[in-house]
Structure 1
Amino acid sequence: MRGMANSDTLSQLRLRHYRLLQAISQYGQLSVAADMLSMTQPAASRMLAEIERLVGEPLFRRHPKGMQATASGEVLARRAGWILSGIDEAEAELAAVREGRRGSVRVGAVTGAAVAHVVPAIQALTPEARAAEVHLEVGPSGRLMTGLDAGEFDFTLCRVPSQTDSQMFEILRGHEEDVRFLVRVGHPLLDRGPLTIRDLDGYGWVIMAPGTPLRQGVEDAWLSAGIAPPREILNSASLLVSMAHIRTSDAIAPVAREVGDLICGTGRGAFVELPVTPGLLLSPYHLIRHRSRPISPLAERLLTLVMDGMAKP
């Protein structure tokens, strides 16, 4: 026979060839390898002869107890194992992607929605999709809608700015945002009992920038109560900045109810909600996806979990 074949010759080998090489190497018997591959022994013998013809040299030595790979046969059998293992892994990964158990998903959300709905949905997704890569960006609605339009997110939970062409998007579900007022433990207002908006006048604030729904909601509440909106304001969208500021001052931080519950529950007793009545409701945020842009099965699965969570009372 000729010497070892070049790569052009080896490229003629097919998966069925590699499966037979691996099986013969593993079991050492042509008849057993044929059975494992649901072939007849004559068919397996003809296929092996075809492989050796393509390669240009014998790949197995026949002896009374079975078959033993030659040096070249060991190389091809080992490579066959790698190739077939890679294909099996690719098939498993493809199935995981198709079933929404693998891949990546990008979500944008306003702070309250991220805490209330996206994080619980991610936690519910994790046990069934441990290989999933989830990206969550928290920000203002304008930034999130721009990102959704540009394809940066699979879906968002935010408000739709007035200048947005809403026909481009599918609005799946809405949720009102209930505001809480956070202060440090020992704040002077905590000794006053039930409070109204007017009782909060005269204190400093840490709050989002003008034009954001939370800022607009607070200012409207002040105007409705017949008082001027707060003037001593630290403008910041950062929760860490808000917590740092109110912990060492008498400032007040309005936040979404879910965010307030989280901070008060994990702040080691450093923060508390003011008992303000009536409460303050903001315009609802929505679960939004782009009408013309399909999303992956993983993103569909996470979106469904978010939607299910938003449907709960």
Structure 2
Amino acid sequence: MLLLIALDEQRNIHRAAEALHMTQPAASKQIKDLEEMLGVKLFERLPRGMEPTIYGETMIRHARMALTSLSLAHDDVVALKQGLVGQVEVGVIMTPAMSLLPRAIARIKQHAPLLRIGVHVEPSNVLLDMLERGTLDFMIGRIVERDGATGLIYEELTEEPACAVVRNGHPLLENKTLQVKDLAGQPWILPPQGSILRHRCDMMFRRAGLEPPANTVDTTALLLITSLLQQTDSLHVMPLEVAQYYASLNVFSILPIELPFKMDAFGIIRQHDHLLSPGANLLLQAVRKAAKEIY
């Protein structure tokens, strides 16, 4: 591989051999053996040097890619010897950010405390942009319909049930036979129009023969939502796992009604042609293991 690259750069067998501290006959024999093995001519022998054929250009390109991969392998081995130092960048939507990813990170930090882990909590479409730009090693989110969303590997983890939450002590918490019709006339804090969760919430009321709530505040800002819930009798719809986390902290309560819809499933998404570093691969395996335990 080194000889192919040297010949591409020098276009002269004598200078290529010198660059690799080889004799010219040895270099010539290696090229001849390779050509015989492949059954094609890799270089045209010209009076003033050598020019790669179309077959030669193909082999040179693959040789460069292979050597780059081997160089990265060397860096990975060094990282492993030093206790898995390095940087991993992972993107995650809100629900798996509550329990799945923290459990995986806690497990990784026991074995590789020097591994730096960057976590980006964003909607799936933002994370997909980051993944396609190479900013992320992998992400945990949803596949959304978009142009050019090819070359992605998706491993589904779980569906995402939704629930309604209110402030602690809300009057509706006393009603153990709540129905959708009991929620329609209430004030709501909802995701903006056009979002998947808002659409499914509106359709829940329409299927029950009701108009969607008119008294709404449209926002996804969790700090604002939490403050409004505590100061008003508003209802809010959110993923069940996120709600359970905040309910465990006594921030707000989950209404005793099973909403008749779910969010789309989410999973691990990575690029097909992206070779993960040892640290990123270790975190990926930890996420898979934690997902089996949780889901």
Q: For residue 277 of structure 1, what is the aligned residue in structure 2? A: 258
Superposition map of 1:227-242 within 5 A:
227-242=210-225
> 2-side partners of 1:275 and 1:98: how far apart?
53
Aligned mate of 2:163, from 180, 197, 217: 180
* Conservation of the 8 A alpha-carbon contact between 1:99 and 1:297: no
1:254 equivalent to 2:237? Answer: yes
SS at 2:99 equivalent: helix
Matches for 1:1-313 after TM superposition, within 5 Å: 95-97=78-80, 101-267=84-250, 270-312=251-293, 313=295
In structure 2, the CA distance between the partners of 1:294 and 1:233, relative to structure 1 (3 Å rule), is: farther
Q: Which amino acid aligns with 1:161?
A: V
Change in Cα spacing, 1:120 to 1:164, as seen in structure 2 (3 Å) is farther
Q: C-alpha distance in 1, partners of 2:109/2:81?
A: 16
Aligned residues: 221
Who is 2:71 aligned against? none
Q: CA deviation at 1:92?
A: 12
In structure 1, the partner of 2:55 is none
Shift, 1:209, TM fit: 2.4
C-alpha contact 1:201 1:230 (8 A) present in aligned 2: yes
The amino acid that maps onto 2:281 is E
Question: Contact (CA 8 Å) 2:76, 2:277: kept in 1 or not?
Answer: no
| CA apart distance, 1:182 | 1.1
Highest CA radius of gyration, 1 or 2?
1
Report if aligned partners of 1:173, 1:307 keep a CA contact under 8 Å in 2: no
Secondary structure of 1:134's counterpart equals strand
**Cα deviations across residues 6-63 of structure 1 (Å, max 9, x unaligned)?**
xxxxxxxxxxxxxxxxxxxxxxxxxxxxxxxxxxxxxxxxxxxxxxxxxxxxxxxxxx
Query: RMSD across aligned C-alpha pairs, in angstroms?
Result: 2.4
1:169-206 CA deviation, whole Å, 9 max, x = no partner? 00122310011211001212112223122211122222
- Which ranges in structure 1 are unaligned for 5 or more consecutive residues? 1-90
Measured in 2, the distance between the counterparts of 1:202 and 1:232 equals: 8
Instruction: Note the residue ranges of structure 2 that are not aligned, 5 or more in a row.
Output: 1-73
TM-score normalised by L of structure 1: 0.65
Query: By how many angstroms is 1:96 displaced?
Result: 4.0
Give the residue type in structure 1 aligned to 2:213. Answer: P
Counterpart AA for 2:190: I
Q: Residue 100 of structure 1 contacts residue 301 of structure 1 at CA under 8 Å; is this kept in 2?
A: no
CA distance, structure 2, for counterparts of residue 93 and residue 296 of structure 1 = 6
Shift, 1:103, TM fit: 1.4
Q: After TM superposition, give the deviation of residue 156 of structure 1 in Å.
A: 1.1
**In 1, distance between residues paired with 2:224 and 2:106?**
26
Deviation at residue 153 of structure 1 after TM alignment: 1.2
**Distance (whole Å) between structure 2 residues aligned to residue 273 and residue 195 of structure 1:** 12
Partner deviation per Cα, 1:88-146 (whole Å, 9 max, x = no partner) = xxx99964447873211111111012113111111111111111211111121111111
Letter in 1 for 2:238: V
Report if aligned partners of 1:195, 1:277 keep a CA contact under 8 Å in 2.
no
Contact in 2 for aligned 1:155/1:290 (Cα 8 Å): yes
Question: Percent identity of the aligned residues?
Answer: 25
Structure 1: distance between partners of 2:128 and 2:228: 29
Q: TM-score, normalised by structure 2?
A: 0.68
Aligned to 1:14: none
1:207-254 residue CA offsets vs partner (Å, 9 max, x unmatched): 322333322221222222222222332222222221111011111121
State the Cα deviation string for residues 271-299 of structure 1 (Å, max 9, x = none).
11001135532111121001122221111
